[in-house]
Amino acid sequence: MRFTSWPVIVLAAASATSPAFAQPDKVYVLDQSTLTYHMSHPMHEVDGKSTSAKGKGICHAGQCDFLIAAPVKSFDSGDTNRDLHMLEATRGAQFPMVQVRTRFPQHEADNSTFYVDLEVQFAGQIAHYDHVAFQLTQQGNDVHIAGSVPATCSDFKIERPSFLTVPIKNEIPVRVDMTWRQQ
Amino acid sequence: MSRCRGSIARAACVFLLCCFLRPAYAQTFTLSGKVNDTAGHPIPGATVSAKSIASGKTYTARTNANGMYSILDLSSGDYQVWAAAGELQSPPIKVSLAAAQTTDLTLSPAPSAGENLPNAPPQQKSETNPASPSLSDLGFTTQQTQSNAQLQATLARRTEMLKIHQRLGIITTIPMAAALITGPMAKAKGKNGEVIHEPTDANLDLHVALGGLTTALYFTTAGYAIFAPRIPNNPKHGGIRWHEALAWVHGPGMVLTPVLGYMAYSQENSGEKPHGIAAQHGTVAYVTAIAYGTAIVAVSWPIHLKFWEKK
């Protein structure tokens, strides 16, 4: 009796300490979001917004994997002509989605400011941004995340559009404002 | 003298050599193609890598929904190219890039560590969470995620034509303004019959030439916008609507102004003071120019002049 109970005790201890068992899968779905790119030119300051992003996050065995995607054509800068030019410059018809992937330890999300490495797939290219800071606030089942991705045109080999022969700035930071809901 | 001539010839040779060599260094190429599985099905989301054999630098791109990829701005030279998607991998192939090139890749189950191909790129241990979400989990429609190369080509053609439209449109403002300035100098008499300026042939000729140049540039500019490809299912909003609406003012104005100008010119030549509708030549020209200028501002809105700011 004493010997047969050992495996049970070991198994129970392993179950309790293994993160896979200790932390059941958590699934998050993007409830609301606003992604805003900022474009700067000596004669223009333009913001293009999209509220069409969709996302899903799965925390499994202490690691969280998140994917956020938005159609490139969903970004609206307030002018159809400019948006079509953006779609052309970013090869948006050929590569219609912008996708952001991130993986971080689950405990990272316990902090109000957390840092993640992002893989951004856009315009047929992949760029990596390390240690990007996001502000996190939790309200019940909802998690609100805000931050900015320091994207540039050259990261995605985008030829900078120009107006009056002056090109836009290389920096096109993307402001992220999202509310995730745990399922 | 002959030494001097020799030096000039040498300098000219160096200059010409530089002229010919410089573009060769700056030239870059695109490597594109399709990634399929062994059954010929396109693989979306596969990572395609091109490693420069000379520099050791690796460039990556991901395939779209149709399995198409493009790696842009590669210098000429030899590259090792391969693709990977999950457990699938293509054997690395050597590509010598000297022009834009299409290279299709076929994915098959990756060989185990013991059967690595010679010169194969280093295998990266997959750290993908088996439960990690994919694009298909997010619920986008196929229409949203589907690549459309034809639309991309149409957009490129449209942008190219509108760029010319923009440049020509701005150039047109120069003879237009000059034609407005020279207008009063080409007039014989003012409203009350007083002599404003003797309409010398030179004044008239200059005004007519500027008007003609403006008209020619204007309609060429308009042609580039009118014949630019239309993008379907794309309701217009923003400044472009004002830009297009104002064309209904300056378009007819650009037709009417030279006609009225010719009528006024004929009346003056026959010793009459311009009268009737011909007397409105100047007014129509000013209204046309104002509508034209406003149309440029409308499409450039919002304007924030920040030239004084440090970059």
pLDDT digits (tens, 9 = 90+) for A97-138: 999 999 999 888 888 999 999 999 999 999 999 999 999 998
**Average per-residue pLDDT in chain B?**
79
Separation in Å, CA of B285 to nearest CA in chain A? 25
**Which residues of chain A are within 8 Å of residue B83 when distances are taken between CB atoms?**
none
Residues 6+ apart with CB under 8 A from A129: A117, A118, A120, A149, A150, A151
Give contacts of B170 with chain A, Cβ < 8 Å. 164
The pLDDT of residue B140: 92
The pLDDT tens digits for B94-151 are: 888 888 888 899 888 765 433 444 344 444 434 455 567 888 889 998 888 888 989 9
β-bridge pairing B68-74 and B101-102: unpaired
pLDDT at B311 over 50: no
Of B145, B151, B159, which is closest to A85 when you measure between CB atoms? B159
Cα A155 from Cα B169, distance rounded (Å): 33
B105-109 vs B29-37, strand pairing mode: parallel
Give me the long-range contacts of B116-124 (CB less than 8 A, separation at least 24): B117/B91, B117/B92, B119/B80, B119/B92, B120/B82, B120/B91, B120/B92, B121/B49, B121/B51, B121/B80, B121/B82, B121/B92
* Residue A182: CA count within 13 A, CB half-sphere: 11
> Could you tell me which residues are beta bridge partners of residue A44?
A41
The average pLDDT across B246-261 equals 96
Report the SS3 class of residue B276.
helix
Q: What number is the average pLDDT over the span A20-44?
A: 83
Q: State residue B123's pLDDT score.
A: 40
Q: Does the pLDDT at position A69 exceed 50?
A: yes
Residue B220: both structure tokens together:
């060429």
Percent of chain A past pLDDT 90, that is, above it, reads 68
CA dihedral of residues B140, B141, B143, B145 (deg, nearest 10): 30
From the CA of A32, how many Å to the nearest CA of chain B? Answer: 14
Of A63, A79, A126, the CB nearest to B239: A79
Measured between alpha carbons, how far is A55 from A178 in angstroms, rounded to an integer? 10
Give me A141's structure tokens.
Answer: 């089942």
What pLDDT is recorded for position B65?
A: 79
Interatomic CA distance for residues A75 and A35, integer angstroms: 8
* Residues of B with Cβ-Cβ distance to A60 under 8 angstroms: 129, 131
Query: Is the CB of A97 less than 8 angstroms away from the CB of B240?
Result: no
**A residues 134-153 lying closer than 8 A (beta carbon) to B:** none
pLDDT band with cut points at 50, 70 and 90 for residue B58: confident
pLDDT of res. B93: 85
Interface mutation target, options B72, B168, B244, chain A, most CBs of A under 10 Å = B72
Strand partners, A146: A135, A177
Averaged over A62-77, what is the pLDDT? Answer: 94
What integer pLDDT is reported at residue B232 of this predicted model?
86
Per-residue pLDDT of A142-157, as tens digits, reads: 999 999 999 999 999 9
Q: Rounded distance, CA A155 to CA A30, Å?
A: 26
Residues from chain A that touch B127, judged by Cβ atoms under 8 A, are 103
